Chains A and B, each alone.
Chain A
Amino acid sequence: MRSSPVAPPAGTWRRRGVGRWADSLFALFAALSGVLILLTLAYMVISTTGTALPVFGSQGLAFVTSSEWSPKNGKFGALAFIYGTFTTSVIALIIAVPLSLGVSLFLTEYSPRRLKGPIGYAVDLLAAVPSVIYGLWGVFVLLPLFLQPAADFLAKYLGFIPIFKGPPSGISYFGAGVILAIMIIPIISSLCREVFATVPDDERQAAYALGATKWEMIREVVLARGRAGVISAVMLGLGRALGETIAVALLIGSKVSIDASILKPGYSMAAVIANQFQEATGEHIRALVGIGVVLFAITIVINMAARALAWRFSRP
């Protein structure tokens, strides 16, 4: 505790009764609230891992290296789900990163003052929309309007490349990836905006003074300065995409398979948990919890790396 500027004479102003304990009680309660967060997180790991342990034991490494998933026969290989989670997330990043960079550069460098507020609000609005609404909208509006035509187009003109091989389906890794992209754009762009806003104006002016065009200034000053922050923002967006459940469950097609073509239906880790949980029993439930543990481990590693990066580079 911070000592008061003028210390009272010892003993004269000492609190009596309850007041004597109130301060330490309050401090204790505050500390306990903080510790409760740690306990919850620890218990989360212990409880779920404990539940999944028998399945990890009986399946061994096959749990993450096999793609045979048949609960009836007691075979639980989650590779198809892991593959789907990463494929959709990578597609989402490929679409979302350039768009987010564009939005944040526009808001920090190009936008007239009048447009800054409204466009910023509109993009932030995307972050407030619940994922189930993205799923509903994706299935009934975006699928017939954009996803299916785009998939047809890609298969028709780029079908010779294995990743765009037909017959195309809008309900696919591609469809789920597009929805994920829309969901993570506000996350990546708001973090990038903060990063770009911290670039000192002097350096912008210095680049102009050297004869740079606006774009050259952005590339050599704003982007170069903000590189670590941008990478960290992208990783936080990736963390969100990996764990996203409902919108992906509705758009990925729920097919347990590993397909090189992104225009084919597949499955993701979070989606299989949400879809199969209600009908699962016994060992099957344990296997789904096991998938959750693997997903948790992956997202934690990525999030911690992103925060470590942001923390290392945020210091001058």
Chain B
Amino acid sequence: MSDRTLPISDSAGALGERWAGGRLGAGLSLRDCRPTRRRVWRDRRNKALVILAVLITLLPVGMILYHITSKGLKTMDWEFLTSPMPLSFRRAGGGFLNALVGTVIMVGLAAAVSVPLGIMAAVYLVEYGKRNWLAKVIRFFSDVMTGVPSVFVGLFVYTALVVQFGFGALMGAASLAIIMLPIIVRSTEEMLKLVPQELKDASLALGAAKWQTVVKVVLPSAAPGIATGVMLAVARAAGETAPLILTALGSYQLTAKLWGEPMSALTLAIFDGARNPFAAGQARAWAGALELLLIVLVCTIVARVIASRSRIKR
């Protein structure tokens, strides 16, 4: 069979032979080329399996949303949102205000550090580095950094900072910033690459310096895409538990002190609630989970909305 011109693969001839049932001889009719019953059956079975896989996967999605909402709403009230944790897991009432404040402070601090640094690093990769070796190395290792287990980041901040300065919000924020940084660098880089060269040329032709072009033309036109990446990084940081155990430690107190005192976070409070055997503590953990899930989902949805409204798209 002369099939070498077909683009699919070297074995295309053999496949055609099998699929057409080796009946490509003289007197060929379409009826002869119909797949055998066995092949039709296998086709249907595999389609059913694929659909089954989708249904199995959708099951936990629905269950998690349902259980977190229904169990969380039982304890979620004004008191939960506005009061700190009671000192015992046995006692009912109270809430996660201290944990919410902790999450907001630490994620906020982490974003304040990692967003400008990440954006500048991406600007270097796209506008200055292009294809030189330094840019390649940075790109590769920021990819590597996204794969670092978050608990290891916590260990690092512990050995580098906590040993000297003690547990606290700043240490927690440092670990979150390290987790957010590579996410922001890579997503910003993707967006900056999409800014049309004509736009930059126009700005340069009007006499703007390179830095003015970057600040006033490149970054604003990529802003929605950058914001999307930042929101996703914030959502990821707000959901981190392991690094905070090693850096912020967790606390029952409502505090805004940035160092010298351990700080709680929503994830830490939920983790403690899930580990203890008392119903009151567990009930608060469910409400905390609902609170955290809402924060994370709002960030994710805002990110999607910004992305879909952006004029520059992937």
Contact = CB atoms under 8 A, between A and B. Distances in A.
Interface of A: 1-2, 4-6, 13, 15, 19, 22-23, 25-27, 29-31, 33-38, 40-41, 43-44, 47-48, 50-51, 98-103, 105-106, 110, 119, 122-123, 125-126, 128-137, 139-142, 182, 185, 189, 200, 202-203, 206-207, 210-216, 218, 220-221, 224, 236, 239-240, 242-246, 250, 270, 273-274, 277-278, 288-289, 292-293, 295-296, 299-300, 302-304, 307
A136 B285 contact: yes
Interface string B55-79: 0111011011101100100000000
B138 A35 contact: yes
Interface in B1-53: 6-9, 11-12, 15-16, 19-21, 33, 35, 39-40, 42-43, 46-47, 49-53
23 contacts: A2-B204, A4-B201, A27-B210, A31-B129, A31-B134, A33-B124, A34-B121, A34-B138, A37-B185, A41-B144, A44-B178, A48-B156, A99-B57, A102-B49, A189-B57, A200-B7, A212-B19, A214-B43, A220-B8, A243-B147, A245-B150, A245-B241, A300-B148
- Interface SS of chain B: helix
Contact of B47 (A47, A110, A129, A210): A110
A30 B159 contact: no
The 10 A-B residue pairs with the shortest CB-CB distance, nearest first, are A102-B53, A243-B149, A130-B239, A303-B147, A26-B211, A211-B19, A33-B120, A30-B124, A245-B242, A213-B43
Contacts of B129: 31, 34
A246 B285 CA distance: 14
B9 A220 contact: yes
Contacts of A189: 57
A206 B8 contact: yes
Contacts of B155: 48, 273, 288-289, 292
A270 B242 contact: yes
Contacts of A37: 121, 138, 141-142, 145, 181-182, 185
Contact of A22 (B51, B52, B209, B239): B209
B160 A131 contact: no
B42 A215 contact: yes
Interface of B: 6-9, 11-12, 15-16, 19-21, 33, 35, 39-40, 42-43, 46-47, 49-54, 56-58, 60-61, 63-65, 67-68, 71, 117-118, 120-121, 123-125, 127-129, 134-135, 137-138, 140-145, 147-153, 155-156, 158-160, 178, 181-182, 185, 200-201, 204-205, 207, 209-211, 214, 235, 238-242, 245-246, 249, 267, 270-271, 273-275, 282, 285-286, 289, 292-293, 296-297, 300
